[in-house]
Structures are given as C-alpha cells and as structure tokens.
Amino acid sequence: MNRTLPPHEIDAFGRELDALRQEVLDQRGQRDVDHIRSVVRTMRYAEAAGRLLLHVGIDPATFALGTGALGLAKILENMEIGHNVMHGQYDWTHDPELDGESYDWDMACAAHQWREYHNFEHHTFTNILGRDRDVGYGFLRVTSEQPWNPAHIIQPFVVVGLAFLFQWGIGAHALRLDETIAGRQSVAELWTRARPFLAKGARQLFKDYVFFPGLALVNAPRVALGNFIANGIRNVWAFAVIFCGHFPEGVRMYHEQETRDEPRGAWYLRQIHGSANIEGGRLFHVLSGHLSHQIEHHLFPDLPACRYPELAPRVRAICERYGQSYNTGRFRAQLTSVARQILENALPSRARPARMH
C-alpha cells in the first residue's frame, strides 16, 4: 500500500529524483561512450560470426552456433543499442552513429514511427487509460480496469503469437488499426501510417530472406532458416522483457482526470507505480537493454541506460522513505505474474475504476 503524499512531500519527492538525474548528467562522459561502443563492437563480431557460420557451415553444430550468434547480435542491436540510442541517450556525444534522430534499427518497425508513439506517447502518458496505447496495445486486456469483450477469451493464444512475431507487432502498433475499426481514423490516414511500416518490413524481409540467402548460393535455405530462428529468438526475448516491465501484478493504471495539472513529483510517482523491474546479473541487464530497470528507464529515459543499475538502489531508498512501493522481482516470478494477468483478464470481470492518489 502506497502512502498518500501531501503536495509538499510530492514536491520534495520530485526534487530528490531531479537531483539524481542532474548528478548523472554532470558525470556522464567517456565511461558511457566506452560502454556503448563495446556493445556495438560485440554486436558486430557476433553478427559477422553468425553469418559466416551460417553461410559456410554444413553441419548442425555450425548452424546452431551461427543462429545463436546472430540472435545475440539482434538482441544487442535492438535492446541495448537501438532502443537506447533512439531515446537520445547518446545525443550529447554528437557521434552520427549514436544520433537518436537518425538511427534506424534492425527490425520491421519504422524508426520515426516508434519515436513518435513510444518516446513521446508512451513515456508522456504512461499507463493513462485511453492515452497510453501501450496498455494492451489496443487488443489485449492486461488489467481489470479495461472493459472486457468476447475477443479477450482468446488472448492467451494471441499473446503467444505476438511473442514470436513481436517485431511485426511493434511495427503494426503505429498504424492505429483499432482506431480505424472503431471509426476514429480514416482509411486514408491508416494507409498513410501503413506505408512506412510496409516499406521497412519489405526491406527487412528482403535482407533476411533474399539478399543474405542469395549470397550463400547452395546454402540459401540454411541461411534463411537461421535468419528466421534468430529473428524469433530476438522477438521472444524482447516480448518477455517488455511485458515483465509493464504488465505484472502491482503495476498501476491511471485515469486522465487524476493526472490533470500533475506536478513533476506526481509524474515521477506515476512512472514508478506504472513500471516494474527484473532482478539479474550484469549480462542479463545488458541483454535486456537495461529495461530490466524499467522503473529507472521511465524516470530517466534520456540518461545512458548503463547508469540504471547504480541508480536503482538509490531510487528504491527514496521510495521507501516516502512510503512508496517499488515493484521488482526475479525474471521467472515477473513472467509468471504477467501470464497470470493475461489469463485472468481473458475472462469477464467488472471493470474497476483506477485507484486515486
């Protein structure tokens, strides 16, 4: 149970977190650059090794090693590099390769569309029902505060499909297809949104299933299959990390009226109560793009993510002093909690109003 904070404590809470953010801004430098460059090098070595093993190998062992290395490269590129660079976490380096506005990642989602609906929409209106479209992505019921409809009965099966095709789900999320079905978006606007997604998706399909297999000549089927499995590995991993950071039990939803005229401290509280962390070691955090620290990411999305592990205990200590919950747990526990939420909310129940401060 979170303690209700009076306005002066909400302001003090916000000032403490502002001070933490400023401390990292004052300290960021070569250490952060060294980190992201080392991850970029590792990603490139893994991709080169994976593609070489898939192209020239002929036995199951090189296929397994090549597919695994390529899957690792895709995970590092999407999570620790792409996601964080596109958040602008390294814009201050003025390195064109780390520029958040021009970086384009190795997945089907068009980068500029993701920056619009994720960087702005999701991180501004976090967990506000009707404003944050990431709450169930327009077709899943992840909280009893969402209305139920008969289509939700099959959502446990839909979620499994989404996990394996996650990059396509992220890309299609920009289309706002549910708004066209509900009559709130014209077909012309849908087509305008669909063109960048279809163009990016076509380039990804050509690269993974025509270009690289074509280079392998007689090994083309092996390379295409390796690319397909590597994409699947990345998709399932990204799905698990993101769902554990947003939809386990204990994560709060909000109604728009309770966030009106929200001061900075209340905005911080919403980010903390609307997110969840996953506990693990350093490698786990890097592979998750440090989204295992989803709470710190939502508080400070523009700070280098490699700083989140050292910020986490200090954020948690501030929460404890102000009587605020801090949702964290091991990966299996958070994933089990998400599965329980998906199953329970597939069945009809009375929609509950969001809790007020």
- The pLDDT of residue 289 is 98
Q: Using 50 as the pLDDT threshold, list the residues of the chain that sit under it.
A: 354-357
Strand partners of residue 293: 277
**Residue 16's CB: how many other CB atoms inside 10 A?**
17
Q: Which helix (H) or strand (E) holds 279?
A: strand 277-279
Sorted by sequence, the CB contacts under 8 Å of residue 89 that are 6+ apart come out as 100, 301, 302, 303, 304, 305
Strands (E), the chain: 277-279, 328-330
- The pLDDT of residue 356 is 40
User: What phi-psi label fits residue 168: left (phi over 0), alpha (psi between -120 and 50 degrees) or beta?
Assistant: alpha
- The pLDDT of residue 352 is 53
Contact 98, 65 (CB under 8 A): no
Sorted by sequence, the CB contacts under 8 Å of residue 30 that are 6+ apart come out as none
**Residue 121's CB: how many other CB atoms inside 10 A?**
15
Residues 222-265 pLDDT 10s = 999 999 999 999 999 999 999 999 999 999 999 999 999 899 99
Question: CA 247, CA 289: separation in Å to the nearest integer?
Answer: 18
**Residue 312's CB: how many other CB atoms inside 10 A?**
20
Question: CA 239, CA 259: separation in Å to the nearest integer?
Answer: 28
Task: State if pTM tops 0.75.
Answer: yes
- The pLDDT of residue 150 is 95
Please name which of 304, 243, 355 lies closest in space to residue 296, comparing C-alpha atoms. 304
